[in-house]
Amino acid sequence: MSYLIVYAVTLIASLALDGTWLAVANKPIYQPVMGPLMLPHFNVAPAVVFYALFPVGLMIFAIVPALKTGSFGNALLYGALLGTFAYMTYDLTNFATLKHWTLPLTLIDIAWGTVLCGAASSVAYLVAPMLGAKFTG
């Protein structure tokens, strides 16, 4: 049950944070660069798969180990690092292969991935125990 609680909190935090970011940043940051690459209609299935599975990665590499050791700093640090590396993989690959992809978009998106994953991991670390999640070292 503890894993389910951590998953649910991580999922909700990730969706809320990323949804807010995309609502604010889509038009001024992403659309000018990605406009010609974007589909006319949003493809929901890949987004559902990503948002359903990425919290599991945060749980495995950041949140649950931090809960077991009682280290908020580890939740923040390892969540942020996972976000950095995951978003760096996506953004640097796009920068290396896509004609219109820019360095500013690359840096902004990597920074966002770092903040998003560090924040979602931190929220899950703080909130999940309040909802009954318990882990021991």
Buried b (16+ CB within 10 A) or exposed e, 52-72: eebbebbbebbbbbbbeeeee
With vertex at residue 73, the alpha carbon angle to CA 71 and CA 77, rounded to the nearest 5 degrees, is 125
Can you give the pLDDT at residue 136?
Answer: 82
Can you give the pLDDT at residue 101?
Answer: 93
Can you give the pLDDT at residue 38?
Answer: 86
What does pTM read for this prediction?
A: 0.94
**Residue 40 confidence class, pLDDT cut points 50, 70, 90:** confident
